[in-house]
Amino acid sequence: MQSSGDVPAAMQIAFHIGANCTDDDRLLKSLLKNADGFAELGIKVPGPGKYRRLIRETIQSLDGAPPAPDAHEVLMDAILDDAHANRVVMSNSAFICVPNRVFENATFYEQATPKISGLMQLFPHDEIELFMAMRNPATFVPAAYAESKRDNFAEFMCGLAPEAIRWSDVVTRIRAAAPQARLTVWCNEDTPLIWAQLIREISGVDPLTRILGGYDLLASIMSPDGMTRFMSYLKSHPPQTEMQKRRVIAAFLDKYVLEDEVEETVDLPGFDEAMITRLTELYEEDVYAIERMAGVDFISP
């Protein structure tokens, strides 16, 4: 994978960087289902064991210093196993940090800048595309706290008030750390409606490419009877547009959703109904601002 002048030939690298507590690796699993078909198109979806620890430890070892001249080649050989690819698709929901460090130093995802900067240093000649899901702080904070294994909520928040959480701050810092990278974001709450599009966007295939797993997430929150009826309906009434399909999904979810899979119980100090409502309103305002940010591709239902 070398071009003239010993400069590595550029390839497309798509990296799903999280966020924590959004998809439980479901997106990676759906992408891996398509690995063989994508490989025929020059798209490599390596297993997470090939790169998660490797990239994390390499960035940590750099500590802001430039990598060795052969670092890129060594990395790609390890990730690709010498296979040829035009595009590499990777996913790590804890790429920025583990849950117990999300609010470190009273800053929401303080590690975003050094981690993204390190990633860009490792792949300086490649076309980097970053993908990130966001989640309502009203449910994100309890979920991250539960995964952090901390036993003191105040210590977990590090002095940051839940009302001060802004995804737009994180997006701004990512854009600043990687201005030449394409950044795509979406709301975790919308994923059942846009799952197939996410698989296609991250893999880089066109909208008409057949994929596997386009309804994986839907199947996890809809009753088996509902999924059977849904698939039967699609077969007898093929939607003509993506928007039509999403309306059908929404209609079937409304009738057949598994409430236990989508309802979330929040039991944290101060998280009463008024707080949850306020956090949700702030999140909606934040998302509205992100949708209008320059250099950000926002996927909405």
Tens digits of per-residue pLDDT, 249-298?
999 999 999 887 667 777 888 899 999 999 999 999 999 999 999 999 99
How many other C-beta atoms lie within 10 A of the C-beta of residue 159? 11
HEC secondary structure over the chain: CECHHHCECCCEEEEECCCCCCCCCHHHHHHHHCHHHHHCCCEECCCHHHCHHHHHHHHHHHCCCCCCCCHHHHHHHHHHCCCCCCEEEEECCCCCCCHHHCCHHHCCCCCHHHHHHHHHHHCCCCEEEEEEEECCHHHHHHHHHHHHCCCCHHHHHCCCCHHHCCHHHHHHHHHHHCCCCEEEEEEHHHHHHHHHHHHHHHHCCCCCCCCCCCCHHHHHHECHHHHHHHHHHHHHCCCCCHHHHHHHHHHHHHHHECHHHHCCCCCCCCCCHHHHHHHHHHHHHHHHHHHCCCCEEEECC
Confidence of residue 86 (pLDDT cuts 50, 70, 90): very high
Interval 230-251 mean pLDDT: 90
Average pLDDT, the chain: 92
pLDDT of 10: 78
Percent of the chain with pLDDT over 90: 74
**pTM of the predicted structure, to 2 decimals:** 0.91
Confidence of residue 2 (pLDDT cuts 50, 70, 90): very low
Q: What is the pLDDT of residues 96-152, one digit of tens each?
A: 999 999 999 999 999 999 999 999 999 999 999 999 999 999 999 999 999 998 999
Task: List the structure tokens of 195.
Answer: 């799952």
pLDDT of 5: 45
Q: What kind of architecture, by CATH, is found in domain 10-211+273-299?
A: 3-Layer(aba) Sandwich (3.40)
Q: What is the pLDDT of residues 23-63, one digit of tens each?
A: 889 999 999 999 999 999 999 999 999 999 999 999 999 88
pLDDT of 56: 94
pLDDT of 69: 86
The answer to whether residue 4 scores a pLDDT higher than 90 is: no
Q: What is the pLDDT of residues 169-212, one digit of tens each?
A: 999 999 999 999 999 999 999 999 999 999 999 999 988 888 99
- What angle (nearest 5°) sits at the alpha carbon of residue 64, between those of residues 156 and 141? 20
The answer to whether residue 227 scores a pLDDT higher than 80 is: yes
pLDDT of 137: 97
pLDDT of 8: 56
Interval 233-242 mean pLDDT: 89
